[in-house]
């Protein structure tokens, strides 16, 4: 093999930079259709591994301008054999994604949102393969982390590079689509951990209550205020950061809204969702920049690599925020729910501390796309 494998980080940076990328995904058709690597300038084709030997000419014909072929499989094992098959057929400039879709799902790419006027920085961590977004506020050697995923070493190493100590960790709600790293990160960092008590369905560990009006100060300069925003869950809480940003968790996204059904209570929680979106958020400054907990499509990523938009503009652009009639909104939400996230009940139990799966099982539980939006 003449080329080195490409890492998930290298591939993510190419896609975020809008480079042309040609992917050959050799997983099964159903797996590919359910979840694949996307990007503005990504060309992707699916030929299952068992068919590849008979389809090498098709690959060469479909390759644009002799671009590098990146072969993708589930874990980066079959793809190595796929590279050999292509090279034996006389096709060059071929390599594979190291670690496959598993590595893609776990990669976090930190992107700077901006600087604060009184000093400090705000970073967004894109889990590009899963659509999860988490955040770090840094000021005067202290760091606040919001909605961390289970790959907690990324946050610890990033804070260390920034010469900051993680002092506070917040989960905005009980997550159902991915395993939270909140409690573990707080424990390892000796930080205060906050969680909305209304989402406590039997947590097996201690936490500080995240409630409407709870306030944090990062580095004695950046103020963060909690704002109860139920609907996705009954305890869902947004964070207003330095009166510039609102971190909306899974309640409001750039092109959609959070789903209210992951605890099996859609009919109960859809009224809360309506009230949050059409009343509570409208009481906030419409100049606030919305920083959501997820993104769905790659077009939600801005040219600077961030996922953010002004709250007022979302009320003009997001179709889910333009259904003023309550009953019509309820029907829209409950009639358009996508398939539920893989293993969402097991993930909820894990996030409550009731289930303690091994690392391989945790990875398997999180396989698949983000499905938190309506």
The residues carrying an active-site annotation are 73
Contacts made by residues 56-62, CB under 8 angstroms, sequence distance 24+:
56/85, 56/86, 56/89, 56/91, 57/89, 59/24, 59/86, 59/91, 60/89, 60/91
Residue whose pair of structure tokens reads 């947004």 in the numeric block: 238
Tokens of 30: 């159903």
327 burial (CB, 10 Å; 0-12 / 13-18 / 19+) is exposed
Tokens of 237: 């809480």
Rounded Cα–Cα distance for residues 366 and 360 (Å): 10
CB 189 within 8 A of CB 218: no
Cα of 165 vs its chain's centroid, Å = 24
Rounded Cα–Cα distance for residues 329 and 275 (Å): 11
């Amino acid at each position: 093999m003449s080329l080195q494998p490409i890492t998930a980080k290298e591939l993510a940076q190419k896609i975020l930079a809008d480079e042309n990328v040609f992917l050959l995904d050799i997983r099964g058709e159903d797996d590919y259709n359910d979840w694949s690597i996307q990007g503005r300038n990504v060309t992707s084709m699916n030929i299952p591994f068992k068919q590849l030997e008979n389809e090498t000419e098709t690959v060469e014909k479909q390759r644009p301008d002799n671009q590098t072929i990146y072969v993708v499989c589930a874990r980066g094992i079959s793809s190595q054999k796929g590279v050999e098959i292509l090279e034996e057929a006389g096709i060059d400039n071929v390599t594979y994604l190291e670690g496959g879709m598993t590595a893609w799902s776990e990669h976090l790419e930190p992107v700077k949102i901006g600087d604060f006027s009184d000093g400090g920085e705000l970073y967004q961590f894109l889990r590009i393969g899963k659509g999860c977004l988490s955040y770090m506020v840094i000021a005067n050697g202290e760091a606040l982390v919001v909605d961390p995923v289970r790959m907690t070493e990324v946050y610890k190493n990033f804070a260390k590079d920034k010469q900051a100590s993680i002092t506070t960790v917040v989960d905005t709600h009980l997550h159902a689509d991915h395993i939270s790293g909140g409690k573990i990160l707080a424990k390892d960092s000796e930080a205060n951990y906050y969680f909305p008590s209304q989402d406590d369905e039997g947590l097996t560990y201690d936490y500080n209550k995240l409630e409407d009006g709870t306030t944090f100060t990062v580095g004695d300069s950046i103020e963060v205020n909690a704002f109860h925003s139920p609907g996705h869950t009954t305890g869902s809480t947004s964070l207003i950061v330095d009166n510039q940003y609102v971190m909306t968790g899974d309640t409001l996204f750039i092109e959609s809204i959070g789903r209210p059904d992951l605890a099996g209570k859609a009919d109960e929680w859809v009224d809360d969702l309506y009230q949050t979106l059409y009343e509570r958020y409208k009481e906030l400054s419409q100049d606030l920049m919305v920083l959501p907990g997820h993104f769905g499509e790659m077009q939600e990523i801005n040219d600077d690599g961030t996922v953010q938009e002004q709250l007022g503009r979302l009320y003009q652009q997001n179709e889910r925020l333009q259904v003023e009639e309550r009953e019509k909104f309820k029907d829209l939400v409950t009639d358009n729910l996508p398939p539920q996230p893989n293993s969402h009940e097991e993930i909820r139990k894990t996030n409550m501390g009731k289930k303690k799966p091994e690392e391989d099982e945790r990875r398997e539980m999180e396989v698949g796309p983000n499905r938190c939006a309506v």
